[in-house]
A = this chain, B = another copy of it.
Amino acid sequence: MDKHIAPVELAKAYRLLNHGPTVLVSARHAGVDDVMAAAWACALDFSPPKLTVVLDKIAATRTLVENSGQFVIQVPTAAQLHLTHKVGSESLAEVPDKLARAGVELFQAEGFDLPLVTGCSAWLACRLLPEPHNQQTYDLFIGEVIGAWADSRVFRDGHWLFEQADPALRSLHYVAGGHFYAIGEALDVGGGE
């Protein structure tokens, strides 16, 4: 694992998603890895930390999630703009070498048989909490976060450091049609910790 990657305590894992970044969803089953982009991922609870993510029925990653019962939500960076758009535009079902074409490299965290995408700023390993009605009716999946890590150059001691870090590490916030925003300026009301 890259020397900048450090574990995040689970009680603060929600902060990795709280500001609403577009994420990459990855999963592994029976020797197959896939990665997709998702703008519709959201924190759901603090402790134990949970999150929601919307996975369309045509997404190959969804099948891997359903079959393995686990997945990773990770926060891509401005440097991964094209990678993010590419894995969000092609399906493994149609493009078997999708990951290589998008420049995706994977690594593992010790103790987790899950594919993590190299170069992201944060990773949340999740156990699927099966909710068949939500999955079928709304394509809505709920995960419990069982492991979290971040790049300590941009998230440290429970805080994002976008205002100090390399701008290439900023999170991406997708709108539509290939149009993203990077996260911007810090605004503080004070009184925090």
Contacts and interface: CB of A to CB of B under 8 A. Distances in A.
A177 B193 contact: yes
Contact of A192 (B52, B159, B172, B179): B179
A139 B43 CA distance: 12
A18 interface: yes
Interface string A126-157: 00000001100011101000000000000000
A52 B37 CA distance: 19
Contacts of A43: 39-40, 54
Interface stretch (A1-9, A59-67, A103-111, A181-189): A181-189
A173 interface: yes
Given A22-B20, A44-B138, A85-B189, A182 B184 contact: yes
Interface of A: 12, 15, 18-22, 39-45, 50, 52, 54, 78, 81-82, 85, 133-134, 138-140, 142, 158-160, 162, 170, 172-193
